[in-house]
Amino acid sequence: MKAHDGIYLDGAWRPALSRDLIDVVDPVDEQVVARVPAAGPDDVDAAVRAARTALPGWAATAPAERAARLTALRDALAARQEEIAETVTAELGSPIGFSRAVHAAVPIAVAGSYAELAASHGFEETVGNSTVLHEPIGVVAAITPWNYPLHQIVAKAAPALAAGCTIVVKPAEDTPLVAQLFAEAAHEAGLPAGVLNLVTGRGPVAGQALAEHPGVDLVSFTGSTAVGRVIGATAGAAVKKVALELGGKSANVILPSADLARAVNVGVANVMSNSGQTCSAWTRMLVHRDRYDEAVELARTAAAKYGDRIGPLVNAKQQARVLGYIEKGVAEGARLVAGSTEPPRERGYFVSPTILADVTPEMTVAQEEIFGPVLSVLRYDDEEDALRIANGTVYGLAGAVWAGDEAEAVAFARRMDTGQVDINGGRFNPLAPFGGYKQSGVGRELGAHGLTEYLQTKSLQF
């Protein structure tokens, strides 16, 4: 696995000032596949300075030219689609089919959507006797997670670039290789030096230095709510704009009129996808008590089909965390219908597809984000009870509602405290805003709403 031994700074790959290295480990066999620099505060400072220097020129670049660079970036990523998929598989452990269909294809589509938006967005509007200008917010720090390693970078970098911002990306230390591929593609796309910079490094060192840096105007972070609180506090103390896409504990509400088999099968697939390492996964399935036993049996059967078809978790720490949650669920009274509290293999960071039944709303597994292939199935008595349970966590990122009548599902969805709801299995839309209510975050990503996160307004009165 090819890796750069430097950081991408001011349009070139340069040796990091820090001599520390990060081992990139394949979660399937636990072998080191590459090493990358663990950048320190001085490297972060150099990257931010490069972005600051490049900002005036890029901000003044016509939106049509920014759109052309983003189109070239999309094309450069598309040309490397197979390499991207293989790289994500090597560092995340994702099965190659899923890497091709999701980890490679989705970010290419998102990059293309921002190329179009950059060309069509109204960066000026007239409001009464005022002209309102939508201007780039400045230098962006993008701190991204490992679970969708390229998508999460593109979901921040593409709108930032479309807006006229310059950016420093700090990818997760588990998945830095696809981030390096992204920097190569940006270079090939002809982005001016300093417009996009990449520092690989550890969160508490490089991430913290980036969040604290006085030369950064906006911090965009995706990851755990715990780390998001720290970054939000740091940014808030500096009166710096922050965008946070954090955890979730999304409810999959199956109303009595729904096609139960379809709702359960799609719900199980949603949780097992990416080995459960999805912040928006529907990890709580809510079923009316009259159909509960049937639903649990359907879920058990569905989980058994996955077997070895799901990949490992990203690292040993995550594996131990998820197995610990399964143990805690059983200890608190949940019934283990599928899966195990033990790893299914001697090697690799695998966790079996797991279904927990007889879960009650106050249990730990019904309240806290597990981030693994673990589904909790809960009973409800009536629609009001289902709504109370669905809204009864600190999170509000996503969700699903199933009903025989679409209008019935929509009426329920309107009452859910969450940022995104899929109706009867609605498909992911890369143009729709993505983000959370409550402790699931601040701000939105994707589409026009994602673009506006990177803009600030100025009013000219006439």
Per residue in 157-167, pLDDT (tens digit) is: 999 999 999 99
**What pLDDT, on a 0 to 100 scale, did the predictor assign at position 189?**
98
- The Cα–Cα gap between 120 and 104 comes to 25
Q: Contact, 283 vs 249, CB < 8 A?
A: yes
Q: What is the CA radius of gyration of the chain?
A: 22
Domain with CATH 3.40.309.10 in the chain: 251-429
Which residue of the set 86, 212, 279, 445 is catalytic?
279
Hey, what CATH topology would domain 6-246+440-461 get? Aldehyde Dehydrogenase; Chain A, domain 1 (3.40.605)
C-alpha angle 249/221/159, rounded to 5°?
A: 110
Contacts of 430 (CB under 8 A, 6+ apart): 106, 109, 110, 113, 446, 447
- Phi first, then psi, for residue 336 (nearest 5°) are -80, 100
**What pLDDT, on a 0 to 100 scale, did the predictor assign at position 66?**
98
- The Cα–Cα gap between 29 and 27 comes to 6
Other CB atoms within 10 A of residue 94 CB: 29
Q: Contact, 450 vs 433, CB < 8 A?
A: yes
Contacts of 28 (CB under 8 A, 6+ apart): 93, 311, 312, 348
**DSSP of 174-205, one letter per residue?**
TS-HHHHHHHHHHHHTTPPTTSEEE----III
Exposed, middle or buried by CB within 10 Å (0-12, 13-18, 19+), for 188? middle
Q: Contact, 311 vs 94, CB < 8 A?
A: yes
| Annotated catalytic residue 408 | no
Encoded tokens for 118: 């950059």
Q: What share of the chain is helix, strand, coil (3-state, %, to 5)?
A: 45, 20, 35
Q: Which CATH superfamily is domain 251-429 in?
A: Aldehyde Dehydrogenase; Chain A, domain 2 (3.40.309.10)
Other CB atoms within 10 A of residue 105 CB: 17
- Is residue 1 over pLDDT 80? no
Strand residues in 97-175 grouped as ranges (E) = 124-127, 130-136, 139-143, 166-170
**What pLDDT, on a 0 to 100 scale, did the predictor assign at position 202?**
97
Could you give the 3-state DSSP secondary structure of residue 435? coil
Q: Are strands 335-338 and 354-359 parallel, antiparallel or unpaired?
A: antiparallel
Single out the residue of 423, 404, 427 nearest to residue 413, CA to CA: 423
**What pLDDT, on a 0 to 100 scale, did the predictor assign at position 88?**
98
**What pLDDT, on a 0 to 100 scale, did the predictor assign at position 251?**
98
- The Cα–Cα gap between 192 and 179 comes to 18
* Mean pLDDT to the nearest integer, 140-169: 98
**What pLDDT, on a 0 to 100 scale, did the predictor assign at position 2?**
80
- The Cα–Cα gap between 303 and 269 comes to 8
For the chain, what is the mean pLDDT? 97
Per residue in 237-269, pLDDT (tens digit) is: 999 999 999 999 999 999 999 999 999 999 999
Per residue in 395-443, pLDDT (tens digit) is: 999 999 999 999 999 999 999 999 999 999 999 999 999 999 999 999 9
* Mean pLDDT to the nearest integer, 17-43: 97
C-alpha angle 231/234/237, rounded to 5°?
A: 145
Confidence of residue 12 (pLDDT cuts 50, 70, 90): very high
Alpha carbon distances (Å) from 79 to 13, 75, 108, 185:
21, 6, 10, 9
- The Cα–Cα gap between 182 and 104 comes to 11
Which residue of the set 86, 91, 173, 245 is catalytic?
245
| Annotated catalytic residue 165 | no
Contacts of 388 (CB under 8 A, 6+ apart): none
Other CB atoms within 10 A of residue 208 CB: 20
**What pLDDT, on a 0 to 100 scale, did the predictor assign at position 244?**
97
* Mean pLDDT to the nearest integer, 382-391: 98
Other CB atoms within 10 A of residue 360 CB: 14
**What pLDDT, on a 0 to 100 scale, did the predictor assign at position 264?**
98
Q: Are strands 21-25 and 32-37 parallel, antiparallel or unpaired?
A: antiparallel
**DSSP of 210-226, one letter per residue?**
HHH-TT-SEEEEES-HH
C-alpha angle 412/414/417, rounded to 5°?
A: 100
**What pLDDT, on a 0 to 100 scale, did the predictor assign at position 308?**
73
Sheet of 422-423: strands edge to edge? Answer: 335-338, 354-359, 374-380, 284-288, 251-254, 399-402, 422-423
Tokens 């921040």: give the residue.
156
Confidence of residue 309 (pLDDT cuts 50, 70, 90): confident
**What pLDDT, on a 0 to 100 scale, did the predictor assign at position 242?**
96
Per residue in 343-380, pLDDT (tens digit) is: 999 999 999 999 999 999 999 999 999 999 999 999 99
